[in-house]
């Protein structure tokens, strides 16, 4: 049987009151019936107890937010490091894509292929197309990663702010 949050005592004998209806309480020791509306000081005591419970719940919520933020922060920082490494790798891939596109452009601009030179005459165009498509694809993926990094930075800042504001 759970313990009650608030114990009401009989003002006559000091016994513990039991509920006898919606707003009535009876003392099993002296038999006195009490209504909360008849005792405004009880209402004040009841309100004080409710305020204390509310304060303790707020403290518990504050402490749990601080703990959750403190536990989440290292994982978020690790994810940020991994994301930064991936972005560095993507910049290298973008550079290689530009290099392939530039090589195709150079071959197209400076080498003259005769119509009877076979499939080799399509090499510059193929390199430009390959480099351009790779550049577009990697750029789009990099933009998505940059958005993800911005979201991760916001989450990290929110955790740090929670820890700072909640007295951690």
Digit-coded pLDDT (tens) for 33-45: 877 666 666 667 7
Q: What is the pLDDT of residue 1?
A: 46
Report field, pTM of the whole predicted structure over 0.85: no
Q: Higher-confidence residue: 148 or 116? A: 148
Q: What are phi and psi of 19, to 5 degrees?
A: -70, 135
- Inform me whether the pLDDT recorded for 168 exceeds 70: no
For strand 18-19 and strand 24-26, is the pairing parallel, antiparallel, or unpaired?
antiparallel
- CA distances for 165 relative to 35, 63, 75, 87, angstroms: 44, 11, 20, 32
C-alpha dihedral sign at 112, 116, 118, 119: positive
Digit-coded pLDDT (tens) for 67-102: 777 888 889 999 999 999 999 999 999 999 999 999
Q: What is the pLDDT of residue 121?
A: 86
Q: Which token pair is 95?
A: 């550079």
Q: What rounded mean pLDDT belongs to the chain?
A: 83
Instruction: Spell out the residues 6+ positions from residue 13 whose beta carbon is closer than 8 angstroms to its own.
Output: 27, 29, 30, 32
- Inform me whether the pLDDT recorded for 143 exceeds 70: yes
Q: What is the pLDDT of residue 89?
A: 94
DSSP characters over 90-137: HHHHHHHHHHHHHHHHHHHHH----GGGGGGGGHHHHHHHHHHHHHHH
Digit-coded pLDDT (tens) for 3-48: 555 677 788 888 887 877 777 788 888 888 877 666 666 667 767 7
């Amino acid at each position: 049987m759970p313990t009650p949050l608030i114990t009401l005592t009989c003002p006559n004998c000091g016994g513990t009151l039991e509920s006898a209806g919606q707003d009535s309480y009876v003392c099993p020791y002296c038999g006195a019936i009490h209504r909360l509306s008849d005792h405004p000081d009880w209402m004040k005591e009841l309100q004080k107890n409710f305020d204390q419970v509310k304060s303790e719940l707020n403290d518990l919520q504050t402490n749990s937010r601080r703990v959750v933020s403190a536990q989440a922060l290292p994982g978020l920082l690790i994810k940020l490091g991994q994301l930064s490494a991936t972005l560095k790798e993507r910049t290298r891939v973008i550079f290689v894509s530009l290099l392939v596109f530039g090589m195709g452009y150079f071959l197209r601009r400076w080498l003259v292929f005769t119509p009877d030179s076979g499939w080799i005459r399509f090499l510059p165009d193929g390199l430009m197309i390959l480099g351009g498509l790779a550049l577009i694809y990697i750029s789009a993926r990099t933009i998505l990663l940059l958005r993800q990094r911005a979201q991760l930075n916001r989450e990290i800042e929110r955790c740090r702010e929670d820890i700072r504001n909640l007295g951690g």
